[in-house]
Amino acid sequence: MSTTKYWRAVNAALHEELERDDSVHVFGEDVGVPGGPFAATRGLRDRFGEWRVRDTPISEAAFTGMAVGAAMAGLRPVAEIMYFDFMTLAMDQLVNQAAKMSYMSDGAFSVPLTIRTLCGGHRGSGPQHSQSLEGWLAAVPGLKVVWGGTPADAKGLLKAAIRDDDPVIVIESLGLWTRRGEVPDDPDHLVPIGAGLVRRPGTDVTLVCWGDTVAVAVEAAEALADRGVDAEVLDLRTLSPLDEPLILESLRRTGRLVVVQDAQGPCSVGSEVIRLAATDGFASLRAPAAQVMPPFAPVPFAPDLERAYYPGAEDVVSAALKTI
């Protein structure tokens, strides 16, 4: 184990996978010579050369499509879409092409493609650089969607995505970018896609979280402990396919559910978790589920507005107390 910042863990994952497998190719805007807009690809071009790590024009649709075609033709591309919001420009290639290729070809083709993207929330990035669109992607059969809430998971999930034979969307958090955490040194340590993690076991209420809200839920769980409430923190890590058995198992233990999310509520991953609780998990529920989330509005820029927009630990505490 080493203590590493979130962005350095991402950088290490890319170094290791480029080293391990010649078919891995990294491309995107500013990823080569500049070393990435936020340094995630620093040092890669010097180490692996222009063909393995390359700067593209600002053409998300074309370079995502290029990644799809290259994956179908035998490579393992890792395309970076600088901000999550910019994924909207590549939606045809992701939703109509990458996601459906295995199905449409009856399994003749697979698309071993990784898309890395950064959610810019919590950093004053404004309405078009801060969105959490994971719910859109998680609703598409054929895509896998992961979001690491710690440096170790950011690294392990990215490595697992690169080695996966299906298209995987790897979301990273600018809000966590310089956070430190313990990261395994083993270059073959992967975080399995499809597996959530109970970060803090508890018996009174399950706090479901992912990405930036993991730290919020952990902080809330500590505050709840001071008030005699034993909260379980369940980090989804993979948003599609969802680790349904883990969620149901936790609900059997606690009987109460609070979902904490940075995405707007309607049609979100949180809605899906609550659907699961209301159907397969219904017998376990001892109180109505709660969803702690931003208002149904774009992400504002001004620091005070942005702080008011995102759920904080105190919001989670009061929602959890209401379920008890």
Partner 1 sequence: MNAATALRLYRTMARIRQFEIGASRLMAAGRLPGTLHVSIGQEAVAAGVCDVLRGDDHITTTHRGHGHCLAKGGEPVSMLAELLGRASGYCGGRSGSMHIADPAAGILGANAIVGAGIPIALGGAFAAARKGRGGVAVAFFGEGAVAQGVFHESLNLAALWRLPLVLVCENNLYAELTPVSVHLAAERVADHAAPYGVPGTRVDGNDVLAVRSAAREAVERARAGGGPALLECMTYRWHGHFEGDPQQYREDAEVAEWKAADPLKRLAEALPDAASELAAIDAEAKREIADAVRAAEAEPLAAPASVSAHVYSGGAAR
Tokens of 193: 């896609």
Q: Which of residues 247-286 bind partner 1 (CB under 8 A)?
A: none
Which one of the spans 9-17, 29-37, 97-105, 293-301 is the region binding partner 1 (CB under 8 A)? 97-105
Among the listed residues 15, 25, 122, 129, the single catalytic one is 129
Q: Is 244 helix (H, G, I), strand (E, B) or coil?
A: helix
Query: Is the CB of 70 or the CB of 218 nearer to partner 1?
Result: 70
Of 68 and 190, nearer to partner 1 (C-beta) is 68
| Cβ neighbours of residue 99 closer than 8 Å, sequence gap 6 or more | 140, 141, 142, 143, 167
Token reading at 98: 């990458």
Specify the residue, 24 or 154, whose C-beta has the smaller distance to partner 1.
Answer: 24
Using the minimum distance from each CB to partner 1, give the nearer residue, 107 or 228. 107
Minimum gap (Å) between residue 54 Cβ and partner 1:
8
- Using CB under 8 A, which residues numbered 55 to 74 contact partner 1? 56-57, 59, 61-74
DSSP state for residue 315 in the 8-state scheme: H
CA pair distance 68, 105, nearest whole angstrom:
14
User: Contacting partner 1 (CB under 8 A), which of 165, 182, 186, 314?
Assistant: 165
Q: Which residue has the tokens 């593209």?
A: 56
Angle between helices 244-254 and 269-278 in degrees, nearest 10: 60
Kindly state the smallest distance separating residue 97's Cβ from partner 1, in Å: 6
Least distance from partner 1 to the Cβ atom of residue 220, Å? 31
The residue among 241, 152, 134 whose CA lies nearest residue 199 is 152
Q: Is 129 a catalytic residue?
A: yes
* 106 SS3 class: coil
Closest CA to 176 of 207, 152, 142, 141: 152
Q: Does 103 bind partner 1 (CB under 8 A)?
A: yes
For position 199 contacting partner 1 by CB under 8 A, the verdict is no
CB of 230 to partner 1, least distance (A): 33
Kindly report the three-state secondary structure assignment for every residue of 260-299: ECCCCCCCCHHHHHHHHHHCCCHHHCCCCCEEECCCCCCC
Count of CB atoms situated within 10 Å of the CB of 76: 23
Stretch that binds partner 1, among 108-116, 154-162, 229-237, 316-324 (CB under 8 A): 108-116
Cβ proximity of 204 and 230 under 8 Å: yes
Candidates 2, 3, 96, 318: give the one binding partner 1 (CB under 8 A): 96
Closest CA to 7 of 45, 35, 48: 35
Q: Which stretch binds partner 1 (CB under 8 A): 101-109, 120-128, 179-187, 309-317?
A: 101-109
Binding letters toward partner 1, positions 14-53, x by CB under 8 A: -----------x-------------------------x--
Closest CA to 54 of 44, 62, 64: 44
Chain contacts with partner 1 (rule: CB under 8 A)? 25, 51, 54, 56-57, 59, 61-75, 77, 92-93, 96-97, 101-112, 141-142, 144, 165-166, 240-241
Active site residues: 129
